[in-house]
Structure formats: structure tokens, C-alpha cells
Amino acid sequence: MKAIVYKSNAGSTAQYASILGHELGLPVYCLEEAQRRLSPNVELLYLGWVMAGKVKGYEKLRNRYKILAVCAVGMGQTGSQIKEIREKNTIPEETQVFTLQGNFDIEKLHGIYKMMMKLMVKTAGKSLAQKKDRTPEEEDLLEMMQNRQSRVKTENLAQMLAWYRRAR
């Protein structure tokens, strides 16, 4: 393993990449920097933020580097939606997939994503707030939308770190 590469929009993915770099002693590069500095076929871990099930930046790197694991950072709870992420991004079976819950702060989003999430909060957030029998996952999502609490935690990386240490 040579590096950790990430693509972040609002900062959660960058935070996770930084934590991983520290924990594993690997250099960390944003996607653009990695493309300039890393040779093709280098083994790496990739972290990308999720939008509509797609891991941003993964498709751009998948044929250039040997991606051993993909960490998808989104609003869903850590460890959820792995099958969907793998299928939607056509991630090969030999590549590990992990999902990590990121933060939700509309003010940190950029461009069209900020507009889209504002609309989502108005519609889905309102509907979720009015729902009487919310699941624990729905409660967590509503709390994220309303309170902007941080979800980036080292403990969310436990499964990924355990896999990495076994694979070395």
C-alpha cells in the first residue's frame, strides 16, 4: 500500500483521509494531487463522498491505480449500503468496500450540491420530521439535518483499520 487518495466536497472525507493517514502511516493526497504525483498502478485506498449512490472520483481513478479498498462517505450510517455502493459504482469483488457516515452541514457544500441538499432538507426533512414511527436510522438522519452534529469519528474506521492490518 502506497497512499490514501480522497475526493471531498464538504470536508468529512478529507477528515477521514487524514485520520487514516495518521493511523496507517501513509501519505494522503487529494484526487487532483494524486494524479500528478502517483505513478499508474500504485496500490492505494480511495475515499470519496457519495452523491446519489455514486462515489465521487472513483470512476476517474479505477483504471489508473490498483484500488484495494473504497471508503464511501455519506449521510448513511457507517457500515450500511455496502452492497448498493458496490453495485452502483461497479466495484470489483476483490476490492473492499466500506461506508462511513460523514457530517451534514449545508453551508460547507459547494455549487449545485448545496442547492440540491437545501431542497432535500425542505422536502425529505419536513416529511421525516412529520413521520410518527421513525426508525433509529431515520431519527439519526433527521438529527443530522437539523443539528449539524459531527459524525466523523476514528471509531467509524474500526472495520477498515482491522481489514488493513489483516491484509498487510
Q: Over the stretch 5-40, which tens digit does the pLDDT of each residue have?
A: 999 988 899 999 999 999 999 999 999 999 999 999
Grid cell listed for 135: 426508525
Q: What is the pTM of this model?
A: 0.83
Q: Encode pLDDT of 86-144 as tens digits.
A: 999 999 999 999 999 998 767 766 777 677 767 766 777 778 788 889 888 777 776 76
79 alpha-carbon distance from chain centroid: 11
Of 15, 24, 19, 22, the closest CA to residue 43 belongs to 24
Instruction: Count Cβ atoms below 10 Å from residue 43 Cβ, excluding itself.
Output: 13
Of 61, 55, 52, 74, the closest CA to residue 29 belongs to 61
